[in-house]
A and B are shown apart, each in its own frame.
Chain A
Amino acid sequence: MTSARSTALRGGLMTIELRGLTKRFGDVLAVDNLSAVAQPGQVTALLGPNGAGKTTTLRMLLGLVAPSGGTATFGGRRYIELPDPVRQVGAVLEASGYHPGRTALDHLRILATASRLPKDAPMRVLDETGLAEAARRRVGGFSLGMRQRLGIAAAMLGDPAVLVLDEPTNGLDPPGVRWLRGYVRALADEGRTVLLSSHALSEVELIADHVLVMAHARLLRSSSLAALRAEAGVGSRVRTPDPERLGAALDAAGLSHRRTDEGVAVDATPEQVGELAALHRIVLHGLEGTADLEKAFFRLTQEPHPPVERPLTAEGVLS
């Protein structure tokens, strides 16, 4: 996949910094004084419900939307100040950014020509993203998943040190999501800085090292995924042929629980649940630990919060 490329990043490692970033559309405050850092070698996820301000934040970062206040930089430079920006930053912002009557190869050739990239760059990225066979097909006939891959191919044309992805799994089928996870992970492992937005916690859980939780135009939390997990507390998922007896035993032990499609979710460690089941001689078909990130996410994004005020450094992420 990425082994064909040089892993010595041409532009060097690059940190993304957002400082007091603010955007107001008339009376609507879309992004409110957002400060955060995304580090090289990490996948940083901008996580939040629809309308949180994620896309506006990414567009300000890329110079497509003018901030009302604050700055967004790559290695200390605004996007417009980057020499040969496509060689330093790759971005996927929308799956509809293609002329339907143009072939995938022509779409990439146009981008490569404008940025003076090598002539073989379009075929290289089409090959990497599994679209080589569709190179001469018109994009209008592509599935949404193929368009997402083409977007990633376009972002990787300049072999950049930074990748910015807006809702990259939208429209991808499960194999596509798995492919994307692996691809993005490999890019971060090469030392690249990856910043992606998502409204789906389940996806972020599997990709991100660091999360920036946004809601109502504000940054509510900036922490490693491990820290968020620890804060969320642990739970268990149990499968049993006798859920009524298990429920009664859990009630008697004062452990809260609820039925789900996958069995019974319990707010207790797997050890506690296993011992309780053994004590009551209840047969279990499955028992696994879960971190209830989803609950923590909803708690974060749906309750009113004061703005996060944390020291910002280029060396370390907000904590």
Chain B
Amino acid sequence: MKALLDAELLKMRSTRATALLVLATLVLAVLTVATSVPGVMEENSSISLDDPDLLAMMVGNGFGAPQVLMTLLGVLAFTQEFRYGTVTSTYLGEPRRMRVLVAKGLSLALASVVITILTLAVTLTLSIALIRSQDGNVTVAAQFWQTVAAGFVVMAAYGVAGVAIGALIPNQIAAVVGVLIWMLAIEQMVIPLLPDVGRWMPFAAASSLMQLGPSYGFFDDQLLPVPLGGLVLVVYTAAAVVLALRITPKRDVL
């Protein structure tokens, strides 16, 4: 398994696309954080500059774009192989396809650690600078650490789920467009408009885990409780992985 994992990590490192995606995502994270500081945008007035959870909220908001990135990286891990036909040599090297799927999942989980650290480094630095520039209080409260820990879990879950989605939908355009529509349109509409349904969606579950209710105009009790949010996210990820593990070995590679 280590050899397969090393090969998957080498695949990620050996094209420019990964670095460019990460870079673009960090830029988006910066923009998100920059508009999260109270006083910059009207809707951020729900939290004050002196709130002890402000830093956690700003850093947590910064994970929006990286969550999308992790899913896309996961999706691309498989769909690029189908698009360019490299899946043939991958399966010739390791014909037990479940092991390939597991190696890709592990590689995305490892990549998520690096990308989460990069995201935290950028968003935390910027958040502290912005709060201080507005004469606010920078408080490293308990929620901050919970949000950071949740960030690692959410990013890994989205990366692994992306791999499973890519394995299930080999057509790259269909998979990428589908994921973007789901994450950027459907969830963003359903969660505020139909909260009873929306709170069970993956993005709402991730938000509850990161305790971001107030930043989306929700009271905390409109999202699932933190443990349940975490559980829902894990169940979604596990379901996608189980489905992919069942289907991948049976699919003909033409």
Contact = CB atoms under 8 A, between A and B. Distances in A.
A319 interface: no
A53 to B, nearest CB: 13
B240 interface: no
A59 interface: yes
A99 B15 contact: yes
A97 B80 CA distance: 11
B95 A79 contact: yes
Interface stretch (B40-48, B123-131, B176-184, B246-254): B246-254
A80 B14 contact: no
A85 B95 contact: yes
Nearest to B250: A66
B88 interface: yes
Given A65-B252, A97-B85, A115-B3, A102 B15 contact: yes
B218 interface: no
Nearest to B100: A114
Interface residues of B, number: 27
Contact of A98 (B3, B86, B253): B86
Interface string A100-131: 11110010011101111000000000000000
B84 A111 contact: no
Name which of B10, B85, B92 has the most chain A CB atoms within 10 A of its CB. B92
A93 B91 contact: no
Contacts of B92: 62, 64, 85-86, 89, 91
B189 interface: no
B93 A111 contact: yes
Contacts of B7: 110-111, 113-114
Contacts of B89: 97, 111, 154
Contacts of B254: 59, 64-65
B248 to A, nearest CB: 12
A7 interface: no
A99 B84 CA distance: 6
B171 to A, nearest CB: 16
Given A66-B250, A114-B3, A102 B88 contact: no
Nearest to A114: B7
Contacts of B6: 113-114
A2 interface: no
Contact of A97 (B84, B93, B94, B95): B84
B17 interface: yes
B253 A64 contact: yes
A113 B107 CA distance: 14
Interface in A82-96: 82, 85-86, 89, 91, 93-94, 96
Ordered nearest first, which 8 A-B pairs have the shortest CB separation?
A114-B7, A97-B85, A106-B14, A64-B253, A80-B95, A113-B7, A101-B15, A114-B93
Interface of A: 59, 62-66, 79-80, 82, 85-86, 89, 91, 93-94, 96-103, 106, 109-111, 113-116, 154
